Amino acid sequence: MNVSQDLSILHLILNASAVVQVVMAMLASVSFMSWYYIFRKWFTVKQAKSQTEQFERDFWSGGDLNSLYQSAVNDRHGAGSMERIFEAGFREFAKLRSQKNLDPKDIIDGSRRAMRATYQREIDNIDAHLAFLASVGSVSPYVGLFGTVWGIMHSFRGLSNVGQATLSAVAPGIAEALVATAIGLFAAIPAVVAYNRFSHEIDRLATRFESFMEEFSNILQRQMR
């Protein structure tokens, strides 16, 4: 068997020590899961941005708030995050306003609290599984490095039974160990890039939600006068 066959990636993986193979299998599984969450998060963030932009256009077009509220209630499953925040705030505002002897400030504060609670739930939903990508990005290189160190130790232990250590004797063991590090980096790099990108997009959405809550609270306050 020639050197190119001995050092092919598939051959190195199949002939690695048991511990290194376990490390490779773990990293491959984690990489597959991270790519699944990357695509899932991409669709989630894209949909949230699209729904937010659509609702902002409807809200600032000067339409009736009661009509917007009824539309949000009737299409609750298809409503976006900002629309659900609006629905929660307007529902609480209408409920408190119907009660007698309530201070206008208490009504606005109650509406704000309802929007804040819905805002937190929506951000938590959009932010789901983002911590997994962060963990994959930070831990995978070290797991791969552990497999590499173990593989090199295993390779050098095998050399103790060889009379003369040559490059051809050392190369396969070291190469199969380095494959673990390569797989660890393959799992970590996309996860880190995706985590940073999605974190930035979610922070921008959170800022838009917070600005809307303040602006909507001011509109409700003007209606109390």
193-199 CB contacts, 8 Å cutoff, 24+ apart: 194/34, 194/38, 194/41, 194/42, 194/133, 195/130, 195/133, 195/134, 195/137, 198/41, 198/42, 198/45, 198/130, 198/133, 199/130
Over residues 71-97, the pLDDT tens digits come to 888 877 778 899 999 999 999 998 988
Amino acid found at 193: V
Could you tell me the pTM of the whole model?
0.81
Over residues 8-29, the pLDDT tens digits come to 666 666 666 777 788 888 999 9
Domain ranges of the chain: 3-223
